[in-house]
Chain A
Amino acid sequence: MQTFLQVLINGTGKGAIFALLALGFVIIFKATEVVNFAHGSLALAGGYVVAVLKPMVGWWSAAAAGITAAAVLALVIERLLLARARNASDTSLAILTIGVDVLVLTEVVRRLGTEASPFLGDPYDVKPLTLGDVTVGRSEVVALAVSVVLITAFFAAFRFSPWGVAMRAQSENREAAALMGIRSSRVTASAWAVGGALAGIAVLFLATQDFSGGGLSQATHGVALAAFPAAIIGGLTSPGGAVLGGFVVGLTEAMTAQYVDLDFAKVAVYLVMLLVLVVRPSGLFGRVVQARV
Chain B
Amino acid sequence: MQTAQRALLTAAVAATLVLTGCSSKAVNNSSGGGSAVKTDVGVTDQTITLGVLTDASGVFKNLGLGITHGNEIWADEVNRAGGICGRKIALVQKDHGYAADKAIPLYGQVKDNVLGLAQLLGSPILAALKKQITDDKMVSVPASWASTNLDTPSVLMVGATYDVEMLNGFSFMQEQGFVHDGDRVGHIYVDSEYGKNGLAGSKAYGAAHNLTVVEAKVTATDTDMTAAITSLKSQGVKAIALTTTPKQTASALTQAKAQGIDVPFIGNNPTFDPVLLSTPAKDSFDKFYFVNGVVPFSADLPAAKDLAAKYAAKYTDTPNVGVDFGYASGLVWQSVLTTACNDKDLTRQGVLNAVAKTKVDTKELAGELDFSKPGQPSSRKSYIAQADATVPGGMKYVKQLFESPEAASYRTPFQH
Contacts and interface: CB of A to CB of B under 8 A. Distances in A.
Q: Bound pair: A and B?
A: yes
B258 A3 contact: no
Interface string A240-256: 00000000000001100
Give me the 5 closest cross-chain CB pairs, A-B, nearest first: A213-B251, A257-B227, A128-B258, A213-B223, A3-B234
A114 B247 contact: no
B221 A262 contact: no
Interface stretch (A58-66, A73-81, A97-105, A214-222): A214-222
Nearest to B251: A213
Interface in B202-255: 216-219, 221-228, 230-231, 233-234, 247-248, 250-251, 254
Contacts of B231: 257-258, 262
Interface residues of B, number: 37
A148 to B, nearest CB: 22
Contact of A6 (B257, B259, B278, B279): B259
Contact of A222 (B221, B278, B279): B221
B119 to A, nearest CB: 18
B58 interface: yes
A211 interface: yes
Nearest to B61: A114
27 contacts: A3-B233, A10-B226, A10-B230, A114-B59, A114-B61, A116-B275, A116-B279, A121-B280, A126-B281, A128-B259, A135-B258, A137-B226, A209-B250, A209-B281, A212-B224, A213-B222, A213-B223, A213-B226, A222-B221, A253-B227, A254-B226, A257-B227, A257-B228, A258-B231, A262-B217, A262-B218, A265-B227
Q: Which of A14, A116, A222 has the most CB of B within 10 A?
A: A116
Contact of A116 (B58, B251, B257, B278): B278
A130 interface: yes
A130 B260 contact: yes
B354 to A, nearest CB: 37
A125 B57 contact: no
Contacts, number: 90
B280 A209 contact: yes
A119 B279 contact: yes
Contacts of B219: 263
Nearest to A118: B279
Nearest to A119: B280
A237 interface: no
A68 interface: no
Nearest to A214: B223
Nearest to B226: A10
A12 interface: no
A254 B227 contact: yes
Interface of A: 3, 6-7, 10, 14, 114, 116, 119, 121, 125-126, 128, 130, 135-137, 208-215, 219, 222, 253-254, 257-258, 262-263, 265
Contacts of B279: 116, 119, 209, 215
Given A262-B216, A262-B217, A211 B224 contact: yes
Contacts of B216: 262
Contact of B223 (A3, A136, A219, A254): A219
A212 B247 CA distance: 10
B335 to A, nearest CB: 34
A208 B280 contact: yes
Contacts of A219: 221, 223
Given A126-B280, A219-B221, A209 B254 contact: yes
Nearest to B249: A213
A258 B227 contact: yes
